[in-house]
Amino acid sequence: MERLASKQEVRQAVAEARREGKRVALVPTMGALHEGHLSLVSAARDRADYVVVSVFVNPTQFGPEEDFEAYPRDIERDMDLLGAEGVDLVFAPTPEIMYASDAAVTVDPGPLGGVLEGAVRPGHFSGMCTVVTKLFSIALPDLAFFGEKDYQQLTIVRAMARDLDLPVKVIGCPTVRECDGLALSSRNVYLSSEERHAATVLYRSLRTAETLVLDGERDAAVVAGAMRDTVASEELAEIEYAAVVDAVTLEPITALSDRPARALVAARVGGTRLIDNIALEVG
């Protein structure tokens, strides 16, 4: 397994893999790897011959009051995990390598970037789209793997690849959870033991929504309200949003039908901000 920080060296390594007829996959990460990330790597290994994993805490997708400096970093541990998974190349650049000092061009995520997470975190999705576009142009993957845990991110990246004619297939992989339902996240390390227990309320709110729909509830406002009530029942949690949306467009819906829908929730547990989502299926 190679570890490279140079964009040109990554391009050269990928070009060599292509000359050998290999199919290239990219798994973008911000490091602090857990089983969720490794499930993406496993999916990439199953569908490609040459797997590139990027490890880069992207400063442009953090707001001024967010946790960029505190975000967990452990590149040596990440390297050990990726080596064990059979990754071919780890791209671990610095911000100075990724961004020119006078960089001014960014990628606009469009309307999808202004709702839900985008409304709470202005500029987040522009930073995400910009760095993902750069990673696509550096690694030139045939396939790119993203987790459904960040469902809005996955949806925006798919739209970006389509709208900008980027020659990459974006593949979503299921959320990986602890046995009590908590979605794996690098930010879970911030939680105290009491907060860790309280954090399961996000998944419980999603299961409440799922149960209501399976029992016949079709009013999206009722389902979203039940999610909010569930989160409100946990004194350590503070809801930011609970929404039921079209799974493709992320637009709010009034009634559930046979069209795919998604329930999304965001909340703060103690000082830690967490998100989660689940598919809602009628019938």
Q: What is the pLDDT of residues 72-96, one digit of tens each?
A: 999 999 999 999 999 999 999 999 9
The residues with which 267 forms a beta bridge, in sequence order, are 239, 274
Confidence of residue 140 (pLDDT cuts 50, 70, 90): very high
- Reported confidence tier of residue 150, pLDDT bands at 50, 70, 90: very high
Does residue 145 carry a pLDDT above 90? yes
Bridging pattern class, strands 261-269 and 89-91: unpaired
Judge whether 135 and 26 are in contact, CB under 8 Å. yes
Q: Which pLDDT belongs to residue 27?
A: 99
Domain ranges of the chain: 2-173, 186-278
pLDDT at position 235 is 97
Is 37 designated active site? Answer: yes
The closest alpha carbon to 265, from 207, 217, 219, 213, belongs to 207
Catalytic residue among 34, 37, 124, 197: 37
- Say what the pLDDT of residue 85 is: 98
Q: With bands split at pLDDT 50, 70 and 90, how would you rate the model's confidence at 218?
A: very high
pLDDT tens digit sequence for 19-75? 999 999 999 999 999 999 999 999 999 999 999 999 999 999 999 989 999 999 999
Mean pLDDT, rounded, for 168-193: 98
Q: What is the mean pLDDT of the chain?
A: 97
CATH topology agreement for domains 2-173 and 186-278:
no
Non-local CB neighbours of 41 within 8 Å, separated by 6+ positions: 27, 51, 53, 82, 85, 87, 145
Query: Which pLDDT score is estimated for 29?
Result: 98
- At 97, the pLDDT band (50, 70, 90 cuts) reads very high
- The CATH architecture of the domain made up of 186-278 is 2-Layer Sandwich (3.30)
How much is the pLDDT for 269?
98
Mean pLDDT of the 168-172 span: 98
For 2-173, the fitting CATH number among 3.40.190.10, 3.40.50.300, 3.40.50.620, 3.60.21.10 is 3.40.50.620
pLDDT average, residue stretch 246-260:
96
